A and B are shown apart, each in its own frame.
Chain A
C-alpha cells in the first residue's frame, strides 16, 4: 500500500472567544493516500472548514501533528511554508468572494506564478496562464474579463485554475460547488474529477451536500462539533451508518425521486457551538439513544469493521434499533 500523502494526528484548533474557548477542531486524526478523495461532511459550525484551513496553515493549529509526504509540517518557518504551499492548495466556496474584484482573470491566475517566479519571463507566464485556462475549460478570450462579469461556474473555474497553477499534489476543496446551480455544479464536479485523474491529485472535499460527497469521495468522514464521529469508505458509510448522527443525517437528505420509502429520523434541537465543552459525547443532547454514560464519558473512535471507524459508546448495538421510529 502506498504511504499516505497526508497524515493528521490528533489535530486541535481552539479559538478564544469572549464566552470561552471554542473547540472548533478537537482531536481529529486521519490519513489520505495519494490520488484519493476524503470527503468531510457535517453541518455548519462542525469545524470542517477550520480543519481544512488548519491543515493548510491558513490558521495555526493549537495541538496535534500534520505530516505531508512523511514530513512533519506542524511547525514550519515562513520560508518552508511558502515551499509547502506549492504542493498544497485550496479552492474556496464562494467563487465571488474568493476572487479579487479588481483583478482580471489572467492577473488572478498569474499571481501564484509571479509569487514563485516559476516562469522566466512574461511570455512564459502568458503561455502558462493560457494553458491553465484551457485546462479548466475557460475560453482565453475571457483573460481580460473581471470576475463580476462572469457567472458562478466560470468564476469557480478561475479559482480552480489558480489552485492548479503551481501544480500542487494536494487540494483542500472547501464547499467548491455549494454556491452553484445544479447544472453548473455538475460541470464543475466533472472537471474536478477529470483533473484528479489527469494530474493524480489528492482532495479533501469539504461539503454539507451528502449527495455530492458520495459522488466524488473515496472515503467519507463525518464531523460533529469538532469531533470526527465516523469515518468509512463511502459505500460502507451510506449502506450501514453506525453513528446515530450519521444515520439521522443520511435520513434527512431529500431524495429527488418518488416512491422511495422514507424513514426519516428527526433530531431534536440544533447544533450548538463547542465552547468549553464538557466531557461526554457532544451529540448526546440531540441523540435519540443517549444514555447517562453518554453525558459523562467522551466516546473513543473504534474500528467497528475494517476501515469503518465510529465514535459512539453503543455503535454496534444500535444497529438493531435502526428501524425503530425516533
Chain B
C-alpha cells in the first residue's frame, strides 16, 4: 500500500488534470465529432433555420396565414408571392412559414413522447423478460395490428380535436413501434458480458438500463425517430383532414398538401412547397440523426 501511495503522490497534479476533464471533455468530444461530419451539420443548420422560422413567423411572413384575396387565387410563383397563392388567394409562402409552427411541434413533440414512452415500455419488457415481457408485448402487438393512423384517429376522436390532442394521439400511435425496436435491441445488448460485469459490481437494474443498455441501443432508436417525425407530420395532416386535427384556417403542412391534391394537375405550386417543407424537415432530421448516431459511438472515432 505504501508503495502505491508514493507512486500516486509523484504525479498527483498531472493526474488530476487528465482525469478531471472527464465530463466536459466527453460532451465536447461528441460535439467535435458531430461538427466534423459535414452532412450532419447541413442537417443541423436546416433544422435551426426551420425552428427560427417557426419562432419568428410573424416577422418573416409577408402576409397573414388566412388573408384571403379571392381575386388573386391560383397565382403562380412570382415576385409578390414567391410560392404563389392557393385557391382562396392566400399567400402560400406565408402559410408554409406559419405552418412550420404546427408541423414542427407535432413532429418533434409527438415523437419525443413516443421515444420516451417507447423506451420505458421496451426496456421493461426486454430487460425483465418472462411474464412482464409477454403481457407488454401482447398489448403492443394488438396496438400494432391496428394501422397507426386508425389508432390515432380513434384516440383523437376520444380526446376531441385540438393540437395537443393530435400530438398525444400520434405519440401514442407510434409507441408500439418504438417499444418493439427498443425491446429487440435490449434483448441483444443485455446478453453482453459487460452487462453482467456491471451487475457484478453491484449496479442496480435502473443503472444498468440507463447507463449501459440504452446508450448501446441508441442507433436504431435514432433512425426510427428521424423517420417517425415525417410520418407524424403526415399523420397530423390526416387527422386535420377528417376534422380531428388542427382546424382550418390554421395552416399546417400536411393539411396544405391534402387540400392541394385536387388542384395538382393545374396548380403544381400548391402541392410542391408544403411538400418540400416536409421533405426538408425529414431530410435534415435524418442526416442529423445519422451524424448523431456516429458521433455518439466512440468506436467510430477516427
Direct A–B touching in the complex (beta carbon < 8 Å)?
yes
**Residues of A with Cβ closer than 8 Å to B?**
53, 56, 58, 81-82, 85-86, 89-90, 92-94, 97-104, 106-107, 111-112, 115-116, 122-123, 126-127, 129-131, 134-135, 140-141, 143-144, 146, 148, 159, 162, 165-166, 198
* Assembled-state Cα–Cα distance A82/B296 (Å): 31
Q: Is the CB of B193 within 8 A of A127?
A: no
B212 interface hit (Cβ, 8 Å): yes
Q: Is the CB of A94 within 8 A of B16?
A: no
Q: How large is the interface on B (under 10, 10 to 19, 20 to 34, 35 or more residues)?
A: 35 or more
Q: Is the CB of B216 within 8 A of A143?
A: no
15 CB contacts below 8 A, A to B, read: A53-B196, A81-B202, A86-B202, A90-B197, A100-B194, A100-B215, A123-B20, A127-B8, A127-B16, A140-B11, A143-B19, A143-B22, A144-B22, A144-B25, A146-B299
B207 interface hit (Cβ, 8 Å): yes
B residues less than 8 Å from A123 (CB atoms)? 16, 20
Measured CB to CB, the nearest residue on chain B to A148 is B299
B265 interface hit (Cβ, 8 Å): no
B58 interface hit (Cβ, 8 Å): no
**Residues of B with Cβ closer than 8 Å to A?**
1, 4, 7-8, 11-12, 14-16, 18-22, 25-26, 192-194, 196-204, 207, 212, 215-216, 296-299, 301
**Number of interchain pairs (Cβ within 8 Å):** 112
Cβ distance B193 to chain A, nearest Cβ, rounded Å? 4
Instruction: Please name the 10 residue pairs, one residue from A and one from B, whose CB atoms are nearest each other, closest first.
Output: A130-B15, A97-B193, A146-B298, A85-B202, A126-B19, A112-B201, A98-B193, A100-B194, A98-B197, A102-B215
Q: Is the CB of A140 within 8 A of B18?
A: yes
A residues less than 8 Å from B298 (CB atoms)? 101-102, 104, 146, 148
Q: Is the CB of A97 within 8 A of B4?
A: no
Measured CB to CB, the nearest residue on chain B to A112 is B201
Q: Is the CB of A82 within 8 A of B299?
A: no
Cβ distance A139 to chain B, nearest Cβ, rounded Å? 10
* Assembled-state Cα–Cα distance A99/B18 (Å): 21
Measured CB to CB, the nearest residue on chain A to B205 is A78
